[in-house]
Amino acid sequence: MENTVEQLKALGEPNRFRIMMMLRDKSLCVCEIHSILDISGSTLSNHLKTLKYAGLVGHRRDGKWVEYYLKDESIGILLDFLVAQMTDRSRIDGDRNRLKNIDRLTCSNKSQ
């Protein structure tokens, strides 16, 4: 039960929920997530650490990038349920549309 409570707490923060919704579509590197969210790199790092600690996301190295992904498909089912309950999905939909125009090569070049 404690793990479920930690996962729900982690999802309760708006930027962490947005991160999870982005990862629902595909695995993303940190620079791709950062290019969507209007937060500092250290804040993003803390959010990703919280999600990882809660067992919601995993990460792996892909060359010079660190890529994050949903740890379990059942988490995706939970996210789908939560989104179905939302009356305003404009921010989630906006993030999804912005991600279509971002790739890790482009966003990593901007940060250099």
Among the listed residues 37, 2, 23, 27, the one whose alpha carbon sits nearest the alpha carbon of residue 78? 23
Domain locations along the chain: 2-110
What is the dihedral sign for C-alpha 32, 80, 2, 72? negative
* Fold category of 2-110 in CATH: Arc Repressor Mutant, subunit A (1.10.10)
What token pair was written down for 43? 């804040």
- Residues (pLDDT < 70) of the chain are 1, 108-112
Quote the pLDDT of residue 112.
Answer: 47
- Spatial separation of the C-alpha atoms in residues 29 and 66, rounded to whole Å: 5
